[in-house]
Amino acid sequence: MAIVEVKVPQLSESVAEATLLQWKKKVGDAVAVDEILIDVETDKVVMEVPAPAAGVIVEIIEPDGSTVAAEQLLARIDTEAVAGAPAPVAPITLAMAAAAAPAASAAVAPAAVASTTMAGVAMPAAAKLMADNQLAAGSVAGTGKDGRVTKGDVLVAVVGAAAAPKVVAAPAMPARAAATLLPQVSAPTTSLAGELAGRPEQRVPMSRLRARVAERLLQSQSTNAILTTFNEINMAPVMDMRKRMQDRFEKEHGVKLGFMSFFVKAAVHALKKFPVLNASVDGNDIVYHGYFDVGVAVGSPRGLVVPILRNADQMSFAAIEKKIAEFGNKARDGKLGMDEMTGGTFTVSNGGTFGSMMSTPIINPPQSAILGIHATKDRAMVENGQVVVRPMNYFAMSYDHRIIDGREAVLGLVAMKEALEDPARLLFDI
């Protein structure tokens, strides 16, 4: 028997733990080399764990939902075994014994009798744990196959006993005194019980990504002096240019010309003029970045993720559109890599794709500013004393007032407005 171990992949330096999602195979299943066995979720990405060799899974160490660390043992594969073949006589692991026990009991007696005789029987590891904690046989209810007591059942019993409050007998109290001292609580009325019936609730744990997002948002609000400035953008020039060039652009580059490339280019245009918008705080120092790594907020089934456009100032409109489309597909499939999510000096979040009219975005630490874009709507505007209809968009930029003054923030947003209302500025960098 040649055993190969399946371990947790190497995690990022900033990630200490991960969560196992769901095993795609079970003990006894045959697997091919590089076949995906389970997905591992960190607070940033979901990673796939492939089979390091072909063979048969003989043991699964960690079940679904377990918290694991890098290089932790997850399962074992026998490269010489054949799926469906009898299990080897020795050595027999706890997981293999648990898998073989139902078959053995079925061979000795009918299922009904087996269920009765195995109920309350502790597995070896469970029996040892019961002895260590001085738990009497039969005192722990079994949830395993045919009612057998598992190690998990004993752990629950031990923790429950430790957490149970100590009951101390109190002196007897006359019935009249008890009636006087204790508050009178009436039972719910029949009508109230009827109103509360039929209202189901579901409690699910946060994913690691959702918990991490919550942690970072609270951190941002507690450590940054966040202020938001707004401006309105006439999107007609960009929309006209996009309409004129869209067919030729798609034919030439194989990707549609969207609005995000204009937004990213306008943001970089403003960051060059006001470098503090592209800076970050490190203790008592301000770090001015000589590069422009723009994060693009992307929605995914797991929650909001922010992959990074590296050196966005050097990217063409086509390169930006292709990369954003790639990020969207990867986010949907949970394939974004750790390197694609790390870093970033400024973020662009386009809530307008979902219909948002106005928001105050929260800074993504350690960045110092974030641009929020909203839905473009036709609005009545006054131009040269005349009321005209224009497609308007409200831009919101939140910034860290510790290092960014209102002047830089407002002028930075004005620079974006001017670039979008006269897109030729983006071509000539003026």
Q: Which residues are catalytic?
A: 401, 405
Cis peptide before 391 (omega within 30 of 0): no
Instruction: Please check whether residue 256 is in contact with residue 413, taking contact to mean a CB–CB distance below 8 angstroms.
Output: no
Q: Enumerate the H helices of 334-405 as residue ranges.
A: 338-341
User: Six-digit token pair at 138?
Assistant: 């039969």
The amino acid at residue 360 is T
Q: What share of the chain is helix, strand, coil (3-state, %, to 5)?
A: 40, 20, 40
User: Six-digit token pair at 373?
Assistant: 């874009």
Nearest to 297 by CA among 149, 229, 398: 398
Q: How many CA atoms lie within 13 A of 193 on its CB side?
A: 5
Per the DSSP assignment, residues forming a β-bridge with 149 are 122
Rg from Cα positions in the chain: 31
Task: Return the DSSP state at 400.
Answer: E
Nearest to 49 by CA among 73, 13, 30, 29: 73
Instruction: Please check whether residue 264 is in contact with residue 294, taking contact to mean a CB–CB distance below 8 angstroms.
Output: yes
Instruction: Please check whether residue 6 is in contact with residue 66, taking contact to mean a CB–CB distance below 8 angstroms.
Output: no
Phi, psi (degrees; rounded to nearest 5) at 4 = -115, 135
Phi, psi (degrees; rounded to nearest 5) at 136 = -70, 150
Q: What is the DSSP string of 327-376?
A: HHHHHHHT---HHHHS--SEEEEEGGGGT-----PPP-TTBSEEEEE---
Residues 278, 281, 287: CA angle, nearest 5 degrees: 60
The amino acid at residue 252 is E
Instruction: Please check whether residue 415 is in contact with residue 269, taking contact to mean a CB–CB distance below 8 angstroms.
Output: yes
Residue at token pair 């020039």: 237
> CB under 8 Å to 420, separation ≥6 — which residues?
233, 235, 237, 238, 262, 263, 266
Cis peptide before 301 (omega within 30 of 0): no
Q: What is the DSSP string of 167-193?
A: P-PPPP--HHHHHHHS---PPPPHHHH
Phi, psi (degrees; rounded to nearest 5) at 77 = -120, 130
